Amino acid sequence: MDNNYFNEKTKGIEKGFPIILGIGCFIIIVAAFMAIPKGQGRGSAKTLLSAGKESDGEEQTASLDFDKQIIGVLKEVNRENNSITLFDVKKKEDIVVNYNSGTIIYDKYEQALVLEQLKLGELVDAYYNMDNLGLVKLQISNQTWEYKNASNWGIDTINKIFSIGDNKYKYDRNISILSKDTFLKPEDLHEKDLLTIKGFDREIFSIQITKGHGTITFEDYEDFIGGIAYIGNDAILPITEDMVVTVREGEYEVTLENGSLAGTKTARLKRDENVLLNMGEYRKPAVKSSLVSFEILPEGAELYIDDVIQSYNEPIKLEYGEHMAKVILKGYETYENTIIVDEASKNIVIELEVPLEDLDDSDGYTSGRTDNGEERDTGNSDDDRPSSKGGKQVSGQLIYVLEPEGASVYLDGELKGIAPVSFPKITGNHYITLIKSGYETKTYTIEATNDGEDAYFNFPEMLKQ
């Protein structure tokens, strides 16, 4: 009887167990549902995002609560009021969001960063709440593109077109251009700058100058002017006065050369700075020079030294060595000769010669005036032209040529001076040639005798050419 009773009890328990188990599961499910925080159940208008964070080597999962996401340019971080200014690349407007210790900051690979690691001009994905502008998450955007250390770029500031190699992009007045943490204008960019360029789609929003430019100037470099400057491997330039060289920041070996003269200095150039190089220790060897005085007869001739016309009223400074001298005066033979300058000062006398054909054109007329004022004319045919052969100088007696004044007076082709002029009497028949710039050359014959008197001659006025 006892065994039958036990068996009946066991069968009753087995029949009720599923009911008890079902009630227990229901209670667990209800308890779990009630544990879900408010605002995160079904029907919530907010987006739920799970992100992993590492703390002491353990992964933690935090639920981030936000309702707005933008791509923006990081323009300002204000640590006094914990705010960040972003430029929304789609709406083209600034927005200020607030951060706190709970704000998550990632690089594009979702590696944790601190705020100080973000640079102004960075393109970021920003997640925030619109009601209080609280920044939940800030991540370097992986939706944008960038060119690092671009040197093959160009900019059209009129049409707002930026080219990188063969690719062209647009930009507008909101573009962020930074040199370190200083904002610049597009016009401030220099072709020597290395740039990191960031954009979205076909538009550029941010430019960081990764390597800027500076300038190199020179002093005490006069001996190099006209030569060539070598600026490292960056540039080869002609050397000019007041030269300014713009190059990328860095260190350069700067070499100036002019003929056999060469000098090298090191320039360590920082961004937006100038380096002044003094080249005074490099000098050409001193060149010896001479002061050369020229006496040229007749007056009015032009003097050329090495094919350069010179004024010879004062001594001319010439370097030691050979120089080509040339003297020109109408009505005279052109003088050309090499002069050698080999002393500190030198005096050179050049007398131009009358062409032989001018001497042969003598009209056979002699006009003279003796001491009693009488004029005499003598006509000589070609057969009996006067000759000074055999004549000799008479002591104490002179020949005076008084007129025309200012004319160069030649006796038998030898310059005697400018009229009025006197010179020793030589007996015999002679040619007197008169030459004056702008006038016709004229030749006369005279006869000088040993008569114990000085001879005076007044010739007719010269005819203008």
Helix (H, G, I), strand (E, B) or coil at 183: strand
- 217 and 126 co-located in one domain: no
- 366 and 438 co-located in one domain: yes
CB atoms within 10 A of CB 272: 16
Least confident piece of the model among 17-26, 164-173, 372-381, 390-399: 372-381
Which CATH number fits the domain that encloses residue 323?
A: 2.60.40.10
Residue ending a domain, among 328, 351, 374, is 351
pLDDT level of residue 28 (50, 70, 90 thresholds): low
At 39, the amino acid letter reads G
- 398 and 367 co-located in one domain: yes
Q: Say what the pLDDT of residue 63 is.
A: 61
Instruction: Look at the alpha carbons of 407, 410, 413, 414 in this order and tell me if their dihedral is positive or negative.
Output: negative
For residues 230-237, average pLDDT: 92
463 part of a folded domain: no
Percent of the chain with pLDDT over 90: 58
Percent of the chain with pLDDT over 70: 79
| 21 vs 148, more confident | 148
Give the single-character DSSP code of 464.
B
- 327 and 372 co-located in one domain: no
19 sits in which H/E element: helix 2-34
pLDDT tens digits for 154-199? 999 999 999 999 999 999 999 999 998 899 999 999 999 999 999 9
For residues 218-243, average pLDDT: 94
Which CATH number fits the domain that encloses residue 218?
A: 2.60.40.1120
pLDDT tens digits for 52-102? 334 333 333 346 789 999 999 999 999 999 999 999 999 999 999 999 999
- 255 and 338 co-located in one domain: no
- 363 and 449 co-located in one domain: yes
Alpha carbons 175 and 181: distance in angstroms, whole number: 14
pLDDT tens digits for 280-332? 999 887 778 899 999 998 888 899 999 999 999 899 999 999 999 999 988 88
Residue ending a domain, among 140, 174, 200, is 140
Alpha carbons 410 and 275: distance in angstroms, whole number: 68
247 part of a folded domain: yes
- 57 and 99 co-located in one domain: yes
386 part of a folded domain: yes
pLDDT level of residue 17 (50, 70, 90 thresholds): low
Asked if 216 and 254 count as a contact pair (C-beta separation under 8 A), the reply is: yes
Asked if 320 and 374 count as a contact pair (C-beta separation under 8 A), the reply is: no
Indicate the pairing of strand 308-310 with strand 274-278.
unpaired
| 352 vs 190, more confident | 190
Cα–Cα distance list, 457 to 109, 160, 228, 385, 463 (Å): 115, 90, 66, 19, 18
62 part of a folded domain: yes
Q: Say what the pLDDT of residue 19 is.
A: 61
Q: Say what the pLDDT of residue 375 is.
A: 37
Residue ending a domain, among 125, 140, 155, is 140
Cα–Cα distance list, 323 to 306, 312, 336, 340, 346 (Å): 6, 15, 11, 6, 13
Closest Cα partner for 239 from 251, 250, 255, 260?
255
Structural domains of the chain, count:
5
For residue 259, give its domain range. 213-278
- 405 and 334 co-located in one domain: no
- Quote the tokens at residue 22: 């079902």
CB atoms within 10 A of CB 96: 14
To the nearest whole number, what is the mean pLDDT of the chain?
Answer: 82
pLDDT tens digits for 107-123? 999 999 999 999 999 99
Q: Say what the pLDDT of residue 64 is.
A: 76
105: Cβ–Cβ under 8 A, 6 or more apart, which residues?
112, 113, 114, 115, 117, 118, 137, 138, 139
Which CATH number fits the domain that encloses residue 90?
A: 2.40.50.320
- Which residues is 439 bridged to in the sheet? 464
Q: Say what the pLDDT of residue 276 is.
A: 97
Asked if 404 and 461 count as a contact pair (C-beta separation under 8 A), the reply is: yes
